[in-house]
Amino acid sequence: MPFTKFTNLDFDQIKTSIKDYLRANSDFTDFDFEGSNFSVLIDTLAYNTYITAFNSNMVVNESFLDSATLRENVVSLARNIGYTPRSRTAARAHVTISVPTSATSPTLTLQAGLVCVGTANESTYTFSIPENVSTTINGGVATFGTTASPIEIYQGTFLTKQFVVDGSLDQRFILDNSFIDTSSIVVYVKGPSDSGLGREYQKVDNIIRIERTSEIYLLQEVQDEKYELLFGDGIFGKKLENSSVITVTYIITDGKDGNGPSEFSFSGTFRDSSSNPVIPAGSVTLTTVQGAMNGGEIEPVSSIKYFAPRLYSAQYRAVTSRDYEAIIQQIYPNTESVSVVGGEELSPPQFGKVLISIKPKNGDFISDFDKETILSKLKQYSLTGINQEIIDLKILYVEIDSSIYYNSPQVSNVSGLKATAVDALNTYASSVDLNKFGGRFKYSKILQIIDNADRSITSNITKVRIRRNLKALVNQFAQYELCYGNKFHINSQGYNIKSTGFYISGNTDLVYFTDVPNKTSTGTLDGSGRGVLSVVKRMNDGEYRVIIASAGTIDYANGEIIINTINITSTEKENNIIEVQAYPESNDVVGLSDLYLSFSISDSTINMVKDVISSGEDISGVTFTRDYYTSSYSNGELERK
Amino acid sequence: MAVTRVSRAFKDISLSFEPHPVTKDLPILKNENAIRRSVRNLVETIPTERFFNSLLGSEVRSSLFEFVDYGTASIIEDQILTTVRNFEPRVTNVKVEVDPQPDENTFNVTVVFDIIGQDVPTQAFTFILEATR
């Protein structure tokens, strides 16, 4: 029997194949007995084969970005194509600090390092600043930051590390801590002729526009999520002189855990202009402008594998939409999902324009400040003559109205069962199918998830709604357009579009949007797939009265609502929001182009209904159809409840 | 129908690796010699010593530093019996006698067994277990 099995990676399989071979080709017999000498020899051979197979398998796997599993190797392979994985990011809060002081110097400096302590989730987190902040003293009070321009504090501990350059070729400058937020790293190099800490060096990502005298350093991740600084060689970047002292300050952070604190107690230190410590004359007032947010974990291996080849193919040039996706991830690490639409795809086309929507990891909107930062950083990657615009996220909410039938003898606590079903839905709501541009809400999955949430659930009847939030410009005449990107279901009687209440000028009653599909003279749908939007109010007797017959148009086929000029004065919901819902023609809802799909469970309706047939209370089904019946179609209410 | 096992010859390699003076072949252990060697291997193997088979072997070595008395001898006896029963299916009627020699700090071990399916007399072999340091 030839020895042909080369693919075995398991010790027992290797051993068995050696025994099979010997059984057919040898005079010996005792290898089947574990105590025999032959068995000892076979074990040694099989072990050797196993180790060799394992090693060669690892070597080959770890040599390629696609199959590497150890972070160190993935990072190293990504480095070959010029990709630096994102570090942990510290949660940042914005505060102003006001200090009464009797110091006679003109300025007061808040020392780099610990500034304050904040609490979230019953844990205490320290907040630091990476560099000194100075301000002038006016009338015995020094104020750091203003509401419009507060100081930024980083969650984490401030650390300093010094290296003395010894001129040897193998000297490495490795920062000894994991969990560093690399954006907080500040590097000073003190040459023989410099005073103080020396000159500050700037971090660069590539060697474009770098000269022999540029004071720069590069950063790379090495073993155990630590970072190494690389300095110039005298050709690209200034070379370090012997005996120079490198001082590196940085912040190590708790990452995502640091998000949340919004109340802080001050623990910082002050110095006057002569660097003497200053004790505040009274209590320090620390005002929070924005609580800590945007903390994030180090980039996971899966993300590095995904983005490294993309950034490489983008070649630091934002040309295609995929390029933008990779580059924006790099320059704004808080990005969860990016959608980029070229102006030529818009209607009407806007050539030379690129529209970008970004979903940040925490929250729905990115601040104007962040938008400006992203756009200015993007400029160095983008083509000349192309203008980028960051537009606010358009969220398409998917809601369900579900009646869940349960077998009552198997249930001791109905609200507990409901919570189990909601938990299962929440897991799906946070999955990758949703929460992204181009995401898809899969109806059949939802039915399955509900049915499988608990053994006592016998069935469910689930209706799907889609919703957009209309942010009203109050006390202004304005036109609105709401795109859903999904075809609407048309009920010829109307009741397809529903909204929460709002007030319009010239009318004191709470009013709602509703729809009237276009019909022929015989009262059937005219097939145009269009309709008219009306504004109605509810009378005391429960009847509805039309306030504005033609307040806009509805394109059911394309899922668009256009509202003519209207002056909305206030809304029933907070923040000037009017929730406008529709029923999709297909229960599978898609997040089209710039729409971000979000499954809103908090706005969904979940009813628990006793399945009297399964429980045996109703044998004939008469009680079930009379008292426990659920329609699979939408209700006849005009308002959104 | 039950499978009838026919009597076979057992043939194992010898780990002395001394070539035959005439044929220059590797030495071979046959039948009772092979089995005797196997039992000895099992008793002398420390559990976890064998790759991916951590249970193989006996713990007699760990008992060698106990008092050399009949109590320890009985423990060693049990350990050897269990090991042979578990890992050597070719023998039956296994008896182990452990004789403590307190003056020499050793145990004299005699293992007696019958070989299944072989027309050979009852086998016995003796070895000395001694703590060497």
Within an 8 Å CB–CB cutoff, is residue B44 touching chain A? no
Q: State the smallest CA–CA distance between residue B103 and chain A in angstroms.
A: 32
pLDDT over 50 (residue B6)? no
Question: What is the pLDDT at residue A307?
Answer: 84
Q: What is the average pLDDT across A169-198? A: 92
Within an 8 Å CB–CB cutoff, is residue A47 touching chain B? yes
Q: How far apart are CA A488 and CA A164, in angstroms?
A: 69
Question: What is the pLDDT at residue B101?
Answer: 92
Task: Answer yes or no: do B88 and A27 touch at CB < 8 A.
Answer: no
Model confidence pLDDT, tens digit, residues A35-61: 899 899 999 999 999 999 889 989 999
Q: State the smallest CA–CA distance between residue A38 and chain B in angstroms.
A: 6
Within an 8 Å CB–CB cutoff, is residue B37 touching chain A? yes
CA-to-CA dists, residue B78 to A548, B58, B69, B73, B89, angstroms = 98, 10, 15, 9, 17
Q: Which of A294, A302, A306, A304 lies closest to A334, judged by CA?
A: A294
Model confidence pLDDT, tens digit, residues B94-115: 999 999 999 988 999 898 988 8
Within an 8 Å CB–CB cutoff, is residue B12 touching chain A? yes
Q: How confident is the model at residue B4 (pLDDT cuts 50, 70, 90)?
A: very low
Question: What is the pLDDT at residue B133?
Answer: 61
Q: State the smallest CA–CA distance between residue B102 and chain A in angstroms.
A: 30
Task: Answer yes or no: do B41 and A35 touch at CB < 8 A.
Answer: yes
Contacts of A37 in chain B (CB under 8 A): 12-15, 29, 37-38, 41
Within an 8 Å CB–CB cutoff, is residue A180 touching chain B? no
Q: Which of B15, B34, B56 sits opposite A30 (nearest CB)?
A: B34
CA-to-CA dists, residue B105 to A30, A87, A135, A186, B67, angstroms = 35, 64, 85, 71, 9
Q: Is A329 left (phi over 0), alpha (psi -120 to 50) or beta?
A: alpha
In chain B, positions 60-79, which contact chain A (CB-CB < 8 Å)? none
For residue A342, the surrounding DSSP H or E stretch is strand A335-342
Please tell me which residue of chain A has the smallest CA distance to B45.
A35
Q: Which of A256, A248, A293, A260 lies closest to A152, judged by CA?
A: A293
Question: What is the pLDDT at residue A4?
Answer: 61
Least confident range from A151-160, A171-180, A199-208, A423-432: namely A423-432
Within an 8 Å CB–CB cutoff, is residue B115 touching chain A? no
For tokens 């006057």, name the residue. Answer: A272
Q: How confident is the model at residue A203 (pLDDT cuts 50, 70, 90)?
A: very high
Task: Answer yes or no: do A29 and B90 touch at CB < 8 A.
Answer: no
Within an 8 Å CB–CB cutoff, is residue A11 touching chain B? yes
Q: How confident is the model at residue B82 (pLDDT cuts 50, 70, 90)?
A: very high
Q: Is A115 in contact with A266 (CB distance < 8 Å)? A: yes
Least confident range from A337-346, A508-517, A534-543: namely A337-346
State the alpha helices, DSSP H only, in A273-317.
301-314
Please tell me which residue of chain A has the smallest CA distance to B84.
A35
Q: What is the CA radius of gyration of chain A?
A: 33
Model confidence pLDDT, tens digit, residues A264-295: 999 999 998 888 899 998 899 999 988 888 88
pLDDT over 60 (residue A120)? yes
CA dihedral A551, A555, A559, A563 (to 10 degrees): -20
Q: Select the more confidently predicted residue: A6 or A199.
A: A199
Within an 8 Å CB–CB cutoff, is residue B11 touching chain A? yes
The interaxial angle of helices A37-62 and A11-25, nearest 10 deg, is 130
Q: Amino acid letter at A42?
A: I
Q: How far apart are the first and last CA of chain B?
A: 55
Question: What is the pLDDT at residue A316?
Answer: 77
Please tell me which residue of chain A has the smallest CA distance to B89.
A33
Q: How confident is the model at residue B8 (pLDDT cuts 50, 70, 90)?
A: low
Model confidence pLDDT, tens digit, residues A246-269: 999 999 999 888 988 888 999 999
Within an 8 Å CB–CB cutoff, is residue A316 touching chain B? no
Chain B interface, best mutation among A18, A30, A48, by max B CB count within 10 A: A30
Model confidence pLDDT, tens digit, residues A348-357: 778 888 888 8
Q: Which of B13, B45, B87 sits opposite A28 (nearest CB)?
A: B13
Question: What is the pLDDT at residue A161?
Answer: 95
Report residue A498 as tokens: 């529903």
- Cis ω for the linkage preceding A106 (within 30 of 0): no
Q: Which residues contact A212 (CB under 8 A, 6 or more apart)?
A: A232, A234, A235, A236, A237, A238
Q: How far apart are CA A396 and CA A597, in angstroms?
A: 5
**Can you give the pTM of this predicted structure?**
0.60
Chain A interface, best mutation among B5, B6, B8, B11, by max A CB count within 10 A: B11
Mean pLDDT (chain A, rounded): 87
Question: What is the pLDDT at residue A163?
Answer: 95
Model confidence pLDDT, tens digit, residues A390-440: 887 788 899 999 999 998 888 888 889 999 999 888 888 877 667 666 778
Model confidence pLDDT, tens digit, residues B16-72: 888 888 988 888 888 888 888 898 889 889 999 888 888 899 888 888 888 899 999
Chain B interface, best mutation among A25, A36, A39, A40, by max B CB count within 10 A: A36
Q: Which of B14, B50, B87 sits opposite A37 (nearest CB)?
A: B14
B55 three-state secondary structure: coil
Q: How far apart are the first and last CA of chain A?
A: 77
Q: Is B12 in contact with B28 (CB distance < 8 Å)? A: yes
Q: What is the average pLDDT across A599-612? A: 88
DSSP A336: E
Within an 8 Å CB–CB cutoff, is residue A49 touching chain B? no
Q: Is A441 in contact with A433 (CB distance < 8 Å)? A: yes
Question: What is the pLDDT at residue A24?
Answer: 84
Q: Select the more confidently predicted residue: A200 or A294.
A: A200
Model confidence pLDDT, tens digit, residues A380-391: 888 888 888 888
Task: Answer yes or no: do B41 and A38 touch at CB < 8 A.
Answer: no
Helices vs strands, H then E, count in chain A: 9, 35
Q: How confident is the model at residue B7 (pLDDT cuts 50, 70, 90)?
A: very low
Task: Answer yes or no: do B41 and A43 touch at CB < 8 A.
Answer: no
Model confidence pLDDT, tens digit, residues A469-509: 888 888 889 999 898 989 998 888 878 888 999 999 888 88
Within an 8 Å CB–CB cutoff, is residue A54 touching chain B? no
Within an 8 Å CB–CB cutoff, is residue B6 touching chain A? no
Q: What share of chain A is helix, strand, coil (3-state, %, to 5)?
A: 20, 35, 40
Question: What is the pLDDT at residue B71?
Answer: 93
Three-state SS for chain B is CCCCCCCCCCEEECCCCCCCCCCCCCCEEEHHHHHHHHHHHHHHCCCCCCCCCCCCCCCHHHHCCCCCCHHHHHHHHHHHHHHHHHHCCCEEEEEEEEEEECCCCEEEEEEEEEECCCCCCCEEEEEEEECCC
Q: How confident is the model at residue B2 (pLDDT cuts 50, 70, 90)?
A: low
Task: Answer yes or no: do A28 and B39 touch at CB < 8 A.
Answer: no
Please tell me which residue of chain A has the smallest CA distance to B28.
A28
